[in-house]
Structures are given as structure tokens and as C-alpha cells.
Structure 1
């Protein structure tokens, strides 16, 4: 591998991490209030239904209970370019259309099993755009869930400072 190319890739990756918005780590649903979105209310409902299908509320928490449905529109509106946003909108409309054709109701109104079936078709699709849509939705739903304050603090035990400094400790010599 060319050393110059490797260094450029490393610098671009580290620059990308440095510019990641501060709200994307240990975020709370209240941090997302009042944010302009490029998605309509119908598209918000579709994003929420997809997130709920990927991480449904089980015995304890799911994607909707930690606010991933509020996280995704903000993430896609502020961190992705217009081409990705347009592709997301197109794929959301196609998913809703497929749900209406297969089950006679909109995607959010389908049962959990019906929604899983529709998303599994996208995951196994030969169409690259459908597969990319599913992969993006799955990865960003997981990111929103695992970086939420509720999951990080309550379930993973995250602490900003993992240890404490005890300055006045007797040392046996």
C-alpha cells in the first residue's frame, strides 16, 4: 500500500471523527427539540416504524423508548448530503408502497411480523439501493440506540471519568 495514500485516509478518518457533532454521543431526546428536518411527518412516522421494527421494545427498552425516532431525522438532515436524503425518501416511499400492496395498510400500521418480512426482503434484495437503505437504517438505528444516554449510563455503566484520583493515600515503602 502506498504510504501517502494510507496517511491521507488516516487523516480524513480522524478529521471526520473530530467533526462528528457533539450531540451524536450520549444524547438525550431533549437535545433534539426544535431541530429543522428535511423529512415530512409521514416520513418521520416511517423512520420511527423502521427503527421500532429493527429494535422493538422487549421486556425493557427499545428504539422508540430511548428516542431513536427523534434522533434519525436529525442525523439524516444534518449529517448526510442531499443525495442520501433523496435516496432515503425514495426508499421510504417504496417501502410504504410495498406494505400497502402486500398488506393493504401503511408500513407503520402493519404488525411487527409484517414489517420484519418487508425489511428482510430489503436486506436480501439484489437491488443495491434497497440493500444500502436497509444497511444504513440498521446501522444508524443501532448507533442511535447504543449512544443514547439511557443505554450508555443505565445499561452499559458508562462514566465520563472511569476512575477517581485519590491524592492523599499512604504509601508503604
Structure 2
């Protein structure tokens, strides 16, 4: 074996070791954790749920306000453990409902299918909320919908692009005329 053949063999061995290690790491890695309860895949899914509830039109949608990350923080920091459990199980139930209705997971649905599914879940949560006992937790989709609305309309995007916003509103005017089509006030 001459020097050139030896260098080629060493290159193949080292290259195979590096590629093999990268491939092994890629196959065994889990989605990055966002916080103690949520990983990045779940936050992405929540962004898509939010975008289906509040889609982008002439104003930005819920995804532009990053409602998925907002929901992850709110559920971890503000929800009781039993409500956290309902919310996290709700993500699984959402995928199960999607699989049952369309034969694929929520993230693989097109916009029309997502709207159909979430409309059905919204009707389900309305019925549940009318019959639930006060001590029972809310329906998981109701939690998602409420957090989407809260996250969007309290975000910079929602307050400045979807609502009218004056950072320094000036004097108080209690009675301002409203013209049809005007945006609501954020402040």
C-alpha cells in the first residue's frame, strides 16, 4: 500500500465515523424542549391551531403573534396541574380526532380540513361547557381558543395591526363615534 492509498483509506474510515455518528444522533434526537411541559413540535402545532382560529387576512394571523409559544408559557406558569394535564392530553386528542376524521395527523391536514375539524371541536366544547359541573375542568379546545385570542390581542402584532392603538392616547373621551368597519381600540 502506498501513501496515497493509505490516506484514502484513513479518509474513508474517518468520514464514515463522522457521518455514522451524525446519522445516529439525528435518528435518536427528540424535539427541542421549549419548557418543562412542551417541546418545539407541540408549540408548532399550537401555532397552527391558532392560525386556523385566527388566520391571516388583511391583518396578520395568530402565527405571526407566536401564540404557540405564548400558550406554552401560560399553561406551564398559570394553569393548575389538572388543567395542564387536560391541555396536554387535548393535543393528543386533537391528533386522534384528526386521524379519525381524515386519516392523518393535524399537522398534515390542509387549511380547509383544519377548519372543519376545529369547527367540530368548537361545537363539542360548547355542548360540554353547557353540561359540565363547576368543579370539572374546561374542555381542552376551549382552553386553546381562549389562549389564542388572549395571546393574539395582547401581542404587539394584534394590538397594533388588528386593533387601533395609540401609545399615548391623550385626554379621556368617553363617547367616540364608531363608523362601521372601524377597528376596535386596543387601549
TM-score tier by shorter-chain length is: 0.5 to 0.7
| Deviation per residue, 1:26-76 (Å, 9 max, x gap) | xxxxxxxx9634113332232122111101112331000122122111111
- Please tell me whether residue 53 in structure 1 is matched to residue 84 in structure 2: no
User: Size of the alignment, in residue pairs?
Assistant: 131
C-alpha contact 2:60 2:157 (8 A) present in aligned 1 = no
| Equivalence for 1:17 | none
Query: 1: distance between equivalents of 2:77 and 2:138?
Result: 23
| Equivalence for 2:139 | 132
Query: Larger radius of gyration, structure 1 or 2?
Result: 2
Unaligned runs of 5+ in 1: 1-33, 165-173
Corresponding residue SS for 2:139: helix
Larger RCO (alpha carbons 8 Å, 6+ apart)? 1
TM, length-normalised to structure 2: 0.61
- Please tell me whether residue 99 in structure 1 is matched to residue 106 in structure 2: no
Closer/same/farther in 2, CA of residues 83 and 130 from structure 1, 3 Å limit: closer
TM, length-normalised to structure 1: 0.65
Query: 1: distance between equivalents of 2:120 and 2:138?
Result: 9
Unaligned runs of 5+ in 2: 1-32, 130-135, 172-187
| Equivalence for 1:146 | 153
Query: 1: distance between equivalents of 2:147 and 2:69?
Result: 12
C-alpha contact 2:90 2:140 (8 A) present in aligned 1 = yes
